[in-house]
Chains A and B, each alone.
Chain A
Amino acid sequence: SAVISQKPSRDICQRGTSLTIQCQVDSQVTMMFWYRQQPGQSLTLIATANQGSEATYESGFVIDKFPISRPNLTFSTLTVSNMSPEDSSIYLCSVERGEFNTEAFFGQGTRLTVV
């Protein structure tokens, strides 16, 4: 298994500002992902965080709005930029070892409210 620490666990932010969310894993992992879960909805994949290179974004998500860093195999950050109330969601970090037939582990999420 993998233990994932996400910070902050929750925050209330003013519109127009940015928030950086951190994801720290207790062991090296090949794959790290960022998800968004809007109120009452399921999880939507934002991007795959690639070590040492630009993240791979899913349709509907762009780097200018959600810049991602991954400096090593145990750490990644997601920034939510120029926030609006529509960005109020839970943001979750997920990791996988990238080996055959293994499961994903999720952090507890960051609950963001934009006012």
Chain B
Amino acid sequence: DAKTTQPTSMDCAEGRAANLPCNHSTISGNEYVYWYRQIHSQGPQYIIHGLKNNETNEMASLIITEDRKSSTLILPHATLRDTAVYYCIVRAPHINYGGSQGNLIFGKGTKLSVKP
């Protein structure tokens, strides 16, 4: 079973920031938080990941609470093309680095609808 909880759906106005929450209260010390998204009829696309510090890349920002029990993915200026299902996943590093196999376990995700 997925180790995360996300809202089923969210709406966001085009051009505004989209803030997608994720709860992972049972996260272990060596587990990372990953975000992927799946645009309709396409394979999932990697967005960002982090351990405990906030992370930012060209797509999004990831804010992880100090206790690491929850996180928020921020799309700073949402566009219509950001409409997708967003998956929050926790996983351990690869087995060669002291973690588990680290398989991705997908939950149901959040369906984000960006509206004009």
Contact = CB atoms under 8 A, between A and B. Distances in A.
Contacts, number: 53
Contacts of B49: 101, 103
B32 A104 contact: no
A105 B106 CA distance: 14
A96 B42 CA distance: 18
A108 B49 CA distance: 22
A111 B97 CA distance: 35
A107 to B, nearest CB: 5
B105 A45 contact: yes
B93 A101 contact: yes
A101 B104 contact: no
Given A42-B108, A99-B94, A48 B44 contact: no
Contacts of A109: 42-43
Contact of A106 (B32, B43, B108, B109): B43
B93 A105 contact: no
A42 B32 contact: no
A44 interface: yes
A45 B94 contact: no
5 contacts: A4-B43, A42-B106, A48-B103, A99-B94, A101-B97
Interface of A: 4, 33, 35, 42-45, 48, 92, 94, 96, 98-109
Given A42-B108, A98-B96, A101-B49, 4 more contacts: A98-B94, A100-B93, A103-B46, A104-B46
